[in-house]
Structures are given as C-alpha cells and as structure tokens.
Chains A and B, each alone.
Chain A
Amino acid sequence: MTAAALSIEGLHKSFGQLEVLRGIDLEVAEHEVIALIGASGSGKSTLLRCINLIEPIDAGRILIEGEEITAKGVNVDRIRRRVGIVFQSFNLFPHMRVIDNVTLGPRKALRQPGRQADEAAMVLLERFGLAEKAQDYPDRLSGGQQQRVAIVRALAMQPDLLLLDEVTSALDPELVAEVLNVVRELAAGGMTMLIATHEMAFARDIASRVCFLDAGRILEQGPPAQIFAEPREARTRQFLNRIIEAGRLQV
C-alpha cells in the first residue's frame, strides 16, 4: 500500500489562548482536490499554513507521502520545496520582474542553473497566458495576473502538493474567473491540492471532496454533491444557507 499524499493526525494549534485547530484528521490521496470551506476564523488558513510549516503546530502529526514533516530535526526548507502555497494577497516580490519571481525558488532553493530555470519558467508562463508579462514588474499587472504569477511561482518548484489559501478573495469579481480557470486546469492535470475557498460554485465543480470546517474541526466531509445538496450537520446547512442568501451559490 502506498502512503497517502498527505495525512494529518490529531492536529492542534493555538495562538495564545485561542485554540484555532482542535484536532484535525485528514487523509488526502494523490490527485485529490480537497476544498476546505467554512466561515472566516474556522481555521482553514491556519491549517494550510501548518501544512507548509509556516506555523509551528502544538500537537499531532503531519505526514507527506509517509514522511513525518512535523518531526523534530526535519529540514523545513526541504519540505517547503515539495509543498507549494499561494496566498490570498499574492505576495509577489515587488522588486523583481515576473520571470525572476518565478525562478527565484528554482535558482536559489533547488540550485538550478539560471538558463534552465528561465526556460522552465517561460514554459509555465506561456501555459497560463503570461509569457508577455515575463519582463514586467508585478505592479504593472492586474490582480488576476498577479495571482496567476503567484501560482506559477509555486508551480515552478514542481511541488507534490499545492495549497491555495483563498486565492480569489482579494480580487475584483471580474478577475476571479481567470484565476479559477488556472486552478481548474491544474486539477484536470492531476495536481494534488488543498483549496481554502469561499467560492462555493467553484468548490462544487472542482473538488473531489469537500471538508466543512467549524471552530477548528472538520465537522463534515464528503463528495461535493452530498455536502452541498444534503449536508448532514445543522451547522453545515446553516453555513450554506447564509452563502445562498448572499447570492454566492445557486441551488
């Protein structure tokens, strides 16, 4: 039996007095796309940041392909090279051209030669319709373009697992589609992904499984058809009703 792409066991995380994650258990197979939904503050972002080792965890274990990444003495940088993360606020490097944003990781963390990194980056930028922006600085790009560059930057590391943290929340509505299309393409290509999102229609289309987080726990999970059409938990129903009332999900 091959190990799961990602498995999380009894994960706890507190910020001071505030317990944000209260025992998360999750198993993700290769090529699975997991949508994490739930109200703001339910722990979606924190979970992703823990998986990327940005936040140290208080209890539990996280394993990637059977290797415990939260064990003592693990080389954090080596793990992060295998786990890409894209942030809500893009976080591109403003002093670098698009191409240099994309190649920084491969050149410095993977020690690829500059030409090889450039060529690989151009292939990726081409694929996502950003080739002509390669020599521009991020502030010349629209929000949607910036976020696509941020996704390409994460992909350039050829990660085993990609974490998307509300990647469309900071975008104007008309720019959301171009970013979601990129994510769709990645899902179709078999990328294993964990996606924290408020875009319920998107989650329904793309996810192989939806996890509803509530107060730091995965309250309910299942295929999108089940979660969105006939949620078992009252809290899930309540949450989805609020989303439907806000006009963010057609039923």
Chain B
Amino acid sequence: MTARPFRPARGPRVGPVAEGRRSLLIATVSTIVVFGGIVIVVTNAPGWPAFQQAFLNGPIFWDSLPKVVGKFWTNVRLFLIAEVLILVFGLVLAVLRSLPGPVFFPVRLLATLYVDLFRALPGVLVIFMLGLGIPALRLQGVPTDEFFWAVVVLTLLYSAYVSEVYRAGIESVHPSQEAAARSLGLSRWQGLRYVVLPQAIRRVIPPLLNDFIGLQKDTVLVSFIGVVEIFRETQILQAAKFNFTPYLATALVFLVVTIPLARFTDYLLAREKNRRVSGVRVAAPSMQRGGQAAP
C-alpha cells in the first residue's frame, strides 16, 4: 500500500501563507483604528490650536533644528570620551570587587563602597556637587573647564553601574573555567585575562549597550553645570522665541540616535539567546556527531 501524501486537516485555504495574510490584515486595521482614534481625540481637544502654535511651529522648528544639531556634537563628544573611560574604569572596579582572599578585603570594601555610593545618589545631585564644587575649590593644577568636569562626573556615575554589569558577567563564568586555567599553571591574573574576562565581556555586551543608551540621554544633565550642549541650547532658543518647538527638534535628534542603538541591543540579545539555545543542542548527546574511535 502506498503512503498517502499528508493533507492539512483544515483544508487547503488555511495554509501558513493565508494565516500570515490574515494576521497582517488584522494588525493593519487595529493599528489604523487605535492611532486614528488618538489623532482625532488630540486634534479635537479645546487647546489644540494653542498647542500647535506653541509646540508644533513649522518655521521655528526648521530654524532651530540645525542649531540644536550643531550643539549635539558636544553631547556626542561627551558621550564618546566618557564611554571609553567608563568601560575601562568600570572593568577595573569589577575586577577589584572580584579579588578573592582576605588580603584584598580593603580593596573589595573600597570598591563596594564606591559602587554603592554612586548608585545610591541621584545623578543630578552628583553632577551639581562635583561639577560645581570641585572647581570652586580652585585647587592648583585642577582644571575648571566645564566640559572636563562633565566627562569626569559622567564617568564616575556610570562606572558604578557598568562595574555591576561586568561583575555579573564575571560571576556567570563557571568556577571550573578558572580552575582549568590555574591547573595549567596560569597565574590568577592570566586566568582572568585570557579565560574569564573574554567570556564574561562577551556575555554582557547587550546590557552594556543598554547602559550606554542611558548615558547618551543623560549627557543633557551636564547642562546644569554650564556646558552648552543640546539641551542648554534648546532652552536658550525656547526663551528667545518664547516657543516650545525647539524641544520637539531636540527630541527628534535623540530619537534618531537612540532608537537604532536600542534596536541593535535587542538584536544582539536575540542573537545571544539563539546561540545559547543552539549551543545546548550541540552539547546534547543525541545531536553529537559521533567521534570516530581512536586507533
């Protein structure tokens, strides 16, 4: 008897393709209904004309956009310089906190205190206290430049968070990996450098990027200590024109920069998850490629 070809029980019309088209249609209609509804409610609000004038002014928007973009380079520079320093300093803190043994207790204690302190305080507060306080001391040889202090303060703040991300990564590497490295005669530092950290850092890249999305946005906080960056410029424009549209321009600038980074982070996370799942599959006995018997 010949085997009959497999037939879907629900009939030929409801294949995966038809199913996909139906979901797409439903999604489209429901999106139009929801967003159309919001637009109708908002544009019919009693304050809509005044709101349009104050926040959605076309000429002011086009006038302020190049100006805020120009100042945005200050944020970009802040971000890039601080990011490199944070990656290094955060790693140093994490490694210090991971040092074993009673000898390193004071080192661990100091690193822990640092991380606790800077995570406990509101960022704005730290920016005010350090950014205005230290230059006011007029210490010999200490710069008073606002940009310099902005970088310092962002680095101090974010290193505390980033060190915790690193530390989670270090602790996620199984102790047997360090044991294997040490059993080869590698020193503790070599084991960390060649075996533990490469694995740890690979695992924490997505959460690190997440923190950097936060940092990108928090660069506006240093406007409080006098750095004329995008947010300060926006306030200046708003005050000059007595109109809030420049804020819209600034918001758009951040969206354009931050959303791709957020999407990229999600993509990396999804890839990492896939890799883990397939990694498990490779390790499972049933999927192993049988090793040939040694002679």
Scan B253-295; emit 1 where CB is below 8 A from any A CB, else 0: 0000000000000000000000000010011010011111111
Enumerate A49-87 residues with CB–CB distance to B below 8 Å.
Answer: 52, 54, 77-78, 80-81, 84-85, 87
Decide: A54 and B183 in contact? CB cutoff 8 A.
yes
The verdict on A104 contacting B293 (CB below 8 Å), with A91-B179, A109-B186 known, is no
Q: Name the 8 nearest CB pairs between A and B, nearest first.
A: A81-B185, A105-B184, A109-B185, A91-B180, A144-B291, A142-B291, A181-B294, A80-B185
Residues of B within 8 A of A89 (CB): 176
B287 to chain A, nearest CB (A): 10
List the one stretch of A169-177, A198-206, A218-226 in contact with chain B: A169-177
B214 at the interface (CB under 8 A from A): no
| B293–A181 touching, CB < 8 Å | yes
Q: Which of B199, B282, B295 contacts A140 (CB 8 A)?
A: B282
A178-B177 in contact given A78-B185, A80-B182 (Cβ < 8 Å): no
Chain B residues with Cβ below 8 Å from A181 are 293-295
Contacts of B186 in A (CB 8 A): 77, 104-105, 108-109
| 7 pairs of residues in contact across A and B, judged by CB atoms under 8 Å | A95-B199, A108-B186, A129-B292, A142-B290, A143-B288, A143-B291, A145-B291
A198 to chain B, nearest CB (A): 18
Which of B176, B194, B292 is in CB contact (< 8 Å) with A178?
A: B292
Choose from B179, B182, B184, B294 the contact partner of A153 (Cβ within 8 Å). Answer: B184
Which residues of chain A come closer than 8 Å to B279, judged between CB atoms? 139
Task: Answer whether residue B202 sits at the interface, using C-beta atoms and an 8 A cutoff.
Answer: yes
State whether B294 touches A129 (Cβ < 8 A).
yes
For this complex, into which size category does the number of interface residues on chain B fall?
20 to 34
Known contacts A54-B182, A140-B282: does B194 contact A104 (CB below 8 Å)? yes
Bound-state CA distance A89–B283 (Å) is 12
B residues in contact with A179, CB < 8 Å = 294
Asked if B135 is an interface residue, CB under 8 A from chain A, the answer is no
Is A131 in the interface zone, CB < 8 Å from B? no
Contact B294 A87 (CB under 8 A): no
Assuming A91-B176, A93-B180, is B187 touching A77 (CB within 8 A)? yes
A94 within 8 A of B: yes
B294 touches A93 (CB 8 A): no
A139 proximity list for chain B (CB < 8 A): 279, 282-283
State in angstroms the CA–CA spacing of A94 and B196 once bound together.
Answer: 11
Contact B199 A94 (CB under 8 A): yes
Task: Answer whether A95 and B198 are a contact pair too, CB < 8 Å, given A54-B179, A142-B291.
Answer: yes
Query: Which residue of the partner chain B has the closest CB to A153?
Result: B184
